Every structure is written in C-alpha cells, then in structure tokens.
C-alpha cells in the first residue's frame, strides 16, 4: 500500500511496515520515494564503488546505500550515507545497528525523474544544519553536483570542477566528470 502525503507523527510513521520504494517522513508528511531509474542506479553504484575503494581498506568510513536515517524529527532514505569508521552506528554486540539515529557524515541525494530539484537541495541544506558534515546533491540531466557543508554551499559543479571530499574522507577527491562517468554504458 503506497502512502502519499499522509500526515502522521514520527512515532506513528516508524511503526508502519517498510515498503518499496521506501517511505519517508519529512516535516510531518509521509511520502514514497520515486523509484530509481538507470542513471540514478549507475551513479549510486559508481559512487559506492569509489568510496569503498578509498574508505574501506584504511577503515576510514563505511558506505550504506539506501539506508534509513532518523534524527532531528525526520526519517529519510538518502541514496547513500557514509559514516566515518568510528561513528558507524552499532548495536550492543558491536554489529552494524538496525536503526541509524545519528546524522551520517555524508548524505547523497540523486535527482530522479519526478523529483523536485528545489526540494532535494533544501533537504541537503537541512541535513547539514542538523549535523551532517557533507551533503551532496547530484543532478544527472544537468551533469551537475552541489556540495553542502555547515555554513557553505558550493554552487553547481560541472566538468573538471573538483569535488574535494577530503575533509570527510581523507584522500577522496574527484571531478564532476569523474562523478558522472558511471553513466557511460562502457564504464569500468
């Protein structure tokens, strides 16, 4: 059963069964994420691979695609979240926690057909205002990426513009072209 624009409390929302695509709770309203298309999945997968290669061997960070995060009164499912290694939410046995209730270090939102560019940019701003160190907004049709940090936004980055993520994941920087490279059918 898809729930669209239904108003609930956060507690009521968290008792709902999970659905595909995921439901999100944003400022008192429940809505269902847009089902991702090919370009969205290609970018998400490419970024997971790139982050994993840089962040995992040195135990710098862990990458979680489509993980629910619930904090500061909202519950969303960004396209990808990253927690620095020492901040990965853990349960009492030291395993990855079932629920992520602390802000991640990085949240990535990729624009899909049917989504509002303005709404996702506002969501990225909200993330950094509430404890996320870096929010990334990617717009595949425009081939643009925008970075958000507390107190600052980058504006749209294109082509050879550098996406320096080293303050959150040491050693990670790439160009906007590198970010969008997984859209090529023969990318490897």
Strands 162-164, 173-175: parallel, antiparallel or unpaired by DSSP?
Answer: antiparallel
Q: Cα separation of 15 and 99, whole Å? A: 13
Which residues fall within 8 angstroms of residue 96, CB to CB, at 6 or more apart? 62, 88, 89, 90
pLDDT at 187: 86
Q: Cα separation of 168 and 60, whole Å? A: 9
pLDDT at 140: 97
Helix or strand run (H / E) with residue 72 = none
Helix (H, G, I), strand (E, B) or coil at 61: strand
pLDDT at 152: 85
pLDDT at 87: 97
Are 61 and 170 spatial neighbours (Cβ–Cβ below 8 Å)?
no
Among candidates 80, 7, 71, 98, which has minimal Cα distance to 43?
A: 80
Q: Cα separation of 85 and 170, whole Å? A: 12
CATH of the structural domain 36-183, one choice from 3.40.50.1820, 1.10.3720.10, 2.40.240.20, 3.90.1570.10: 3.90.1570.10
Q: Taking the domains of the chain in order of start, what are their residue ranges? A: 1-33, 36-183
DSSP-derived secondary structure for 106-122: EEEEE--TTS-HHHHHH
Write out residues in the chain with pLDDT < 70, as ranges. Answer: 1-6
> For 100-130, how does the pLDDT look when each residue is reduced to its tens digit (9 = 90+)?
999 999 999 999 998 999 999 999 999 999 9
């Amino acid at each position: 059963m898809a729930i669209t624009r239904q108003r609930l409390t956060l507690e009521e929302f968290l008792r709902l069964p999970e659905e595909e695509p995921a439901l999100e709770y944003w400022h008192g309203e429940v809505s269902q994420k847009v089902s991702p298309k090919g370009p969205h999945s290609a970018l998400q997968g490419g970024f997971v691979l790139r982050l994993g290669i840089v962040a995992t061997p040195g135990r710098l960070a862990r990458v979680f695609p489509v993980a629910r995060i619930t904090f500061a009164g909202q519950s969303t499912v960004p396209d990808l979240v990253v927690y620095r290694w020492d901040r990965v939410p853990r349960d009492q046995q030291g395993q990855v926690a079932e629920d992520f209730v602390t802000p991640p270090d990085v949240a990535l939102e990729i624009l899909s057909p049917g989504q509002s560019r303005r709404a996702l940019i506002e969501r990225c701003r909200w993330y950094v205002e509430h404890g996320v160190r870096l929010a990334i907004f990617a717009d595949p049709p425009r081939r643009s990426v925008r970075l958000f940090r507390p107190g600052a936004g980058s504006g749209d980055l294109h082509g050879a513009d550098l996406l320096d993520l080293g303050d959150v994941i040491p050693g990670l920087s790439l160009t906007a072209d590198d970010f969008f490279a997984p859209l090529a059918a023969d990318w490897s």
